[in-house]
Structure 1
């Protein structure tokens, strides 16, 4: 079975292949419109077969798209992550264009080497040489490929900006009409954020938040979560119920976030003089998801789950707990004995008519079988 991170990366790579496939198919249709009934390319004399091209060119485009997707997700997105939107588009597009050009030249050279001696690349009348000296054709193809690269980059950057999967949901119209879903929500808040902001000043505090959210996001990806919103120093993460419960992803994510910050302790202390901490509240239940807005469209969730999660997080300081979960979610968890779960009692949360029992979860040095507190 593929890990959640691997599956998410595969899902992010596939659209690159699809984009290249579609534009390669469009190129074949445009080429047919230009050549008409000709059975060869006028400049090179190479035989032209429309049916063959509609198979081989899109197939090559698909492979090229998957390659650029792997490079984007695995390398380039990390290398240029701190660059501005425009700089990322320009720098990455240039790199991709160089790679695509090398790929195209390699194909032409391979084609030339497989030809008879009289048509080899050494012969100035060969099809390969004719292709390279036909500047109109070469520039036209390069401009077309550059357009595909830029469009793919815009897709990638916009997708990252509004969140993985959100752009696809807009295209598919998944939430055009309201949809009910069971989800787990985590409201995560930085400890003593007001004091930290006063000590650092607004600009340095903003730089801290950028590093802080970046480091926490790695754990969200690893454990299959989705960042729903940022609100000041607060991060709201959600999972579909099944994905959040599987392997205790929603709980594991919290402690992976803690480890991520601890590994970067030296960086934070040298840059900001402090290692930020955080606390979180989790709750599960039914929400309604759908598109809203006219000037600015957004997919939002509504329901008591969000308000309750926020209220639970707000009680962390009162109970000196880093992680509080609702009774509803605690009943669904199957935590191993490496975690300690303890009831902090029933609490009447604002906006609710009935009290809810809350549980604090922390790491434990004990080990053994999965267990639940007796009150559950």
Structure 2
């Protein structure tokens, strides 16, 4: 059970599982259309598999597993391999690879399905005669066309998910935030140090590559600590947690130091490539927000609430107070005491543009 409690494991399962579901649903839909067109009869028994319950269950399982295999390849290999390519190029290159992959799967799965239909051994000559007929028939071509369609739809899903964010896309599909709802959330505003001078030093093209590498190094820590990226704003990133997930094991605080560790591990790369190791400051706060879909020309999941304004202003105080991580008194009250962290009270302070003062704490990490 611990395996499924690991946030990183859950994250990858949530990314891969939709591929299996997409393939399974599409296969059922295509089967239904073909069955209706032939009035639920096998009009080409010499090449087509008669769909019995045994064949249907085997085919459903096989298609689902193939979908999971495509998802696994997409998430762990091909998605990274073609990351720098344009959206259209990605689909074109991946289609070529997956069609070859599906050809191999098709040629393996068909004899097994035929042996189930004929209720005989896989090595029976009748099975291989039917396979020979199938491999040179229009049925083979239509099967490959169906597989190509399934590949295209799953790659389309993958591309849209990558651009919008996996959780955002699932929320759109489920209609979770179609009606605005109130939530308790923790927000972290994280801002890179000395970004203006660094941008001037590197030039805009090199600085863009620097930001891309910088954000890539932060992603694993965010996933591991159940965070969600809400926005990238230039050199600033806004991370959010549902309150219970952010408080669990002090995820919201641990995430900050995990991101620091990840950057430190890549320090040699950043020094060699850009001549500098990126560092950052952050502010954390908790409060109520209204969450919902917003936008006319472009839809996105949007948070509104005073907690965002307060968090942004807490983060801005990090520089003047010479602190790398500040949290609000409201969040401090909710956090469980933990040995690795200490909290130093800085008293109550004015926040820019607000009348009410806020109590602030500096976080100390003892390793």
* TM-score (normalised: structure 1): 0.90
CA distance in structure 2 between the partners assigned to 1:335 and 1:5 by the alignment: 24
* Correspondence for 2:23: 20
Report if the CA contact (8 A) 1:241-1:284 is conserved.
Answer: yes
Report if the CA contact (8 A) 2:188-2:238 is conserved.
Answer: yes
SS in 1 for 2:166: coil
* Correspondence for 2:133: 130
Return 79-88 or 169-178, whichever deviates more.
79-88
Are residues 1:36 and 2:39 paired? yes
Residue deviations 1:158-211 (CA, integer Å, cap 9, x gap)? 112111211111112111111100000000000011111111111111111111
CA distance in structure 1 between the partners assigned to 2:208 and 2:154 by the alignment: 30
Report if the CA contact (8 A) 1:343-1:360 is conserved.
Answer: yes
* Correspondence for 1:57: 59
SS in 2 for 1:165: helix
Are residues 1:200 and 2:207 paired? no
SS in 1 for 2:318: coil
* Correspondence for 1:369: none
Alignment counterpart, residue 328 of structure 2, candidates 316, 326, 329: 326
Report if the CA contact (8 A) 1:28-1:50 is conserved.
Answer: no
* Correspondence for 2:356: 354
CA distance in structure 2 between the partners assigned to 1:351 and 1:257 by the alignment: 30
CA distance in structure 2 between the partners assigned to 1:351 and 1:179 by the alignment: 27
Aligned-pair distance for 1:350? 2.6
Q: Report matched runs for 1:289-328 at 5 Å.
A: 289-328=291-330
The verdict on how the C-alpha distance between 1:33 and 1:280 changes in structure 2, with shifts beyond 3 A counting, is: same
The verdict on how the C-alpha distance between 1:322 and 1:21 changes in structure 2, with shifts beyond 3 A counting, is: same
SS in 2 for 1:331: helix
Residue deviations 1:238-284 (CA, integer Å, cap 9, x gap)? 00000011111111111111111111111111111111110000000
* Correspondence for 1:11: 14
- Which structure 1 residue ranges, 5 or more long, are not aligned? 366-376
CA distance in structure 2 between the partners assigned to 1:288 and 1:75 by the alignment: 37
Report if the CA contact (8 A) 1:184-1:282 is conserved.
Answer: yes
The verdict on how the C-alpha distance between 1:193 and 1:29 changes in structure 2, with shifts beyond 3 A counting, is: same
RMSD, matched Cα? 1.9
* Correspondence for 1:373: none
Report if the CA contact (8 A) 1:25-1:57 is conserved.
Answer: no
* Correspondence for 1:372: none
Alignment counterpart, residue 126 of structure 2, candidates 103, 107, 119: 119
The verdict on how the C-alpha distance between 1:128 and 1:311 changes in structure 2, with shifts beyond 3 A counting, is: same
CA distance in structure 2 between the partners assigned to 1:355 and 1:291 by the alignment: 32
